[in-house]
Structure 1
Amino acid sequence: MNRQAQAVVLLLLGGAVIRASLTDLYLNYVKEGLRPFLIAAGVLLVAAAVMTLWHELRPARRPEAAPAGADGRAGVDGRAEQAGHTGQGDHDHGHGHHEPRVGWLLILPVLGLLLVAPPALGSYAAGQAGTALSSQQRQSDYPPLPDGDPVQVSVLDYASRALFDKGVSIGDRRVRLTGFMTTGPDGQPILARMVLSCCAADGRPVKLGLTGNAPAGLADDTWVEVTGRYSDQVTRDPVNDAEIPHLDVESWRQVPAPKRPYE
């Protein structure tokens, strides 16, 4: 791979990063707050590629003629004379420096972002990892739920209150949550939502067991909005043996996948 090819690959990579950052596509891979950093990184990649192409494609400067010597003949630079004798100058001029071919692998993430964008983490990732909540975490006091009936809460907020606060801060309030369906080890439906610390590489699921009028007959990764009340039922996650709280479902409806799939 010569430098011109490197610059083209770098230009495509930077363009793909900028394209993903200016749409909602980047939300499948990183948290929302990282958008400015992605845009800045993409701009720097594009700028580096453009500067490299400009440097490689600009016309070569002709060497200046040396002053005539005492014998009337044109002076010859010692380095040019040496290069003429050895042929090194012509060789360097005619052949560019090539980098290892492994650099072409950079084209793979470019094609992935431009042609086949990977989806957000879903039921498969949730089934392979244990729930992110652990009963060994320090219990803290939770503020009252906001006004509304039902009140819209995140899966993480409800699970935290149900597990660590034993539902005291929830009481008999009706709550509404949005998540995707996945199948539990016992074949029962589970409502889940992925949480990120930084990017999809560290994503972990928050899982909720469902009782009452739980959704049935839905495929994994189907997004639903459920309304219900606190349930004191708790089961164990077979992946990491952590506790999974439950929600007593009163009603539910299928919804499209949100633009921000992670919490």
Structure 2
Amino acid sequence: MSRQAQSLLVTLLGSAVLRLSLTDVYLRYVKAGLRPYLLVAGVLLIAIGVVSFWRDVLVQRQPSAGRTAATDHQVEHAGHDHAHGPAVAWLLLLPVLAIFLVAPPALGAYSANRGSAVVGKPTTAFAALPPGNPVDVTLSDYASRAVWDKGRSMSGRTVRLRGFVTPRKGGGYYLTRITIACCAADSRPIKVGVSGAAGGFPADTWIEVTGRYTPGTEGGRNELIPRIQVTDVHEIAPPREPYEQ
């Protein structure tokens, strides 16, 4: 791969990063707080690629005055061989094209079924829920209260949860969210077993459920999946930010 091609690749990579950062698509990969860093990185990559490209072009257009004909021939021949280097280097362009043409979706039911739904133990006491019924609760907060507080802080309360559908082995489904600390690479699923008037939905459908805490957990090895007794459920549009933090 020639130096000009390398510069072009860096420019395209920067353009891809900038394109993702200027839309909500970047939220499929990293948390919202990293947007400024992505913007800066995209601009810097574009600047490096453009400057490097024009520098190489100017060097080629201004050959040394003392160059002999033999040297010119050797340089031309070496450049010809270099230009026909390993074609596999161009495969580096494929991820960039994929971002431009078909941006991969956010992690969903497929990833959730292959990860362990581990509920981390909180370091502080659970605060009382806001007044009113139903009360909006994040899926991670519900799971934490259900597992580590045995649902005491939700006793007698009606809660409203939002998430996507992950099929459950043996029938039914889990209400699921993916949580991230930094990016999709450190993601883990949070699941809540749904019972009662749960209805049936395809995998990855975003839904809103209203119901009450019910005791007990389920799940495989190293998993603690709490439950909710549903009284109402309906489909909703996917949220702007697909992950909980």
User: Same fold by TM-score, threshold 0.5 exceeded?
Assistant: yes
Query: What TM-score comes out, normalization by structure 1 length?
Result: 0.84
State whether residues 163 and 245 of structure 1, in contact with CA within 8 Å, keep that contact through their aligned partners in structure 2: yes
Is 2:190 the counterpart of 1:206? Answer: yes
Query: RMSD value over aligned CA atoms?
Result: 2.1
Q: From the superposition, tell whether residues 222 and 62 of structure 1 become closer, same or farther in structure 2 (CA, over 3 Å).
A: closer
Determine which structure has the larger helix proportion and give its number: 2
- Tell me by how many angstroms 1:171 deviates: 2.0
1:55 maps to 55
Residue 178 of structure 1, CA deviation: 0.6
Equivalent of 2:204 in 209, 214, 221: 221
User: In structure 2, what is the Cα distance between the partners aligned to 1:23 and 1:191?
Assistant: 27
Percent of aligned pairs with the same residue?
Answer: 45
Contact 2:118/2:222 (<8 A) preserved: no
CA-to-aligned-CA distance 1:205-262 (integer Å, 9 cap, x gap): 1000112211x22111010001111111211x22x33221111111111011111110
Q: Which has the larger radius of gyration?
A: 1
Quote the Cα distance in structure 1 between the aligned partners of 2:63 and 2:88: 35
Corresponding position of 1:169: 153
Shift of 1:61: 3.4
Structure 1 residue 138 displacement after superposition? 5.9
How far did residue 112 of structure 1 move?
Answer: 1.3
SS for the counterpart of 1:234 is strand
Q: What is the TM-score when the length of structure 2 is the normalising length?
A: 0.90
CA spacing shift, 1:124–1:63, aligned 2, 3 Å: closer
For the 8 Å contact 1:140–1:164, the answer to whether it is kept is no
Is the CA contact 1:175–1:228 (under 8 Å) kept in the aligned structure 2?
Answer: yes
Alignment of 1:121 onto 2:107: yes
- For the structure 1 residues 165 and 56, does the alpha-carbon distance in structure 2 shift closer, same or farther, using more than 3 Å as the test? same
Within 5 Å, give how 1:1-263 maps onto structure 2. Answer: 1-58=1-58, 60-61=61-62, 63=64, 80=66, 84=68, 87-92=70-75, 95-96=78-79, 101-133=87-119, 137=121, 140-214=124-198, 216-235=199-218, 237-238=219-220, 240-263=221-244
| Structure 1: unaligned runs, 5 residues or longer | 65-79
SS of aligned partner of 1:248: strand
Shift of 1:11: 1.1
Rounded to whole Å, the distance in 2 between the matches of 1:143 and 1:127 is: 31
Q: Give aligned pairs, total.
A: 240
Deviations 1:104-163 (A, max 9, x none): 2221111111101111111111111110315xx467411111234211111001110111
Structure 2: runs of 5 or more not aligned: none
Q: Distance in 2 between matches of 1:62 and 1:89?
A: 9
**In structure 2, do the counterparts of structure 1 residues 170 and 150 end up closer, same or farther at CA, with 3 Å as the change threshold?**
same
Q: CA deviation at 1:95?
A: 4.4
1:71 maps to what in 2?
none
Q: Report if the CA contact (8 A) 2:122-2:144 is conserved.
A: no
